[in-house]
Amino acid sequence: MVVTTNHCHARWPVARVVALICVCLTALPAFAADETDGSGALPINLTIKDESVANVMTMLSEAAGINIVVGQDVTGRIAGVNLRGVTLEEALRAIALSAGLNWYKQDMGYIVTSKPLPADALKPVEQDDGKTYRGFFGGVLAGVLVGLVEILAWSSFGLTALPHQTILSVTLFATGALLGDLAKSFLKRRLGKERGESWFLADQYDLVIGSFLLILLVYPEWLFENITLPIAVWIVVMTPLLHRAVNIIGYYIGVKEVPW
């Protein structure tokens, strides 16, 4: 039995690599779904020609799914608006600036006015790294669920080409993947890179580096038992390809702002 298992491991390293990386990459869509502006709205695309400011704000409110109240004092027209992939507050800032208006946030949404801002006006939410607790724990849960499917397949159907995962290993892989992504985002801000800006190599390997570092610290016996040199090489080769595929899928189904 031992010989057969080793033979499968040697014969099907790609299957093992894909299974390992998928536990990490499955976290991407759930995590990326929270990469929105501070108001929680998805990126906005809006094209308008020669409309009143009030109508423009109504269209913006409908596109974002968030309340925008326009004061009776607001008049005038906008000659043209062509916004692509912007946040709600970026759109409000651009339109209000072009029309000479002010805007501020209230608990129920946003107020647009030509008057000075009241003393109790809430400051606009600054764009952050796009990471939330909901995204983090949702991503970890998604990775763990994929790992549990692997465990079930390994034990129920004898798919020994898959890595012999445990509850601890899949939890560490999923958590480490998200921690790696958080660390990369932190470094991007320190280096002055914008959220969503492509960062070659770091974008491709942050999840894998984070997951393997965490499992090395907490569960090294699993790592050394299951990850041989050929498998490590395959991980380096396959990760960018699988990472790209998952991100493109996330982009086209609307949970990622950019396809990388």
The neighbour count for residue 121, using CB atoms within 10 Å, is 15
Query: What pLDDT digit, counting tens, does each position of 74-132 carry?
Result: 988 988 888 888 888 888 888 888 888 998 888 788 999 998 877 666 555 444 445 66
Amino acid present at 95: I
Does the pLDDT value for residue 31 go beyond 80?
A: no
pLDDT at 57: 92
Domain ranges of the chain: 2-35+130-252, 44-113
Whole-prediction pTM: 0.56
Beta-carbon contacts of 114 under 8 Å, excluding residues fewer than 6 positions away, are 71, 73, 74, 75, 100, 101, 102
Answer whether 60's CB lies under 8 Å from 92's CB.
yes
CATH code, residues 44-113: 3.30.1370.120
Q: Which has more pLDDT, 25 or 210?
A: 210
At 180, list the tokens.
């790696």
At 144, list the tokens.
């763990």
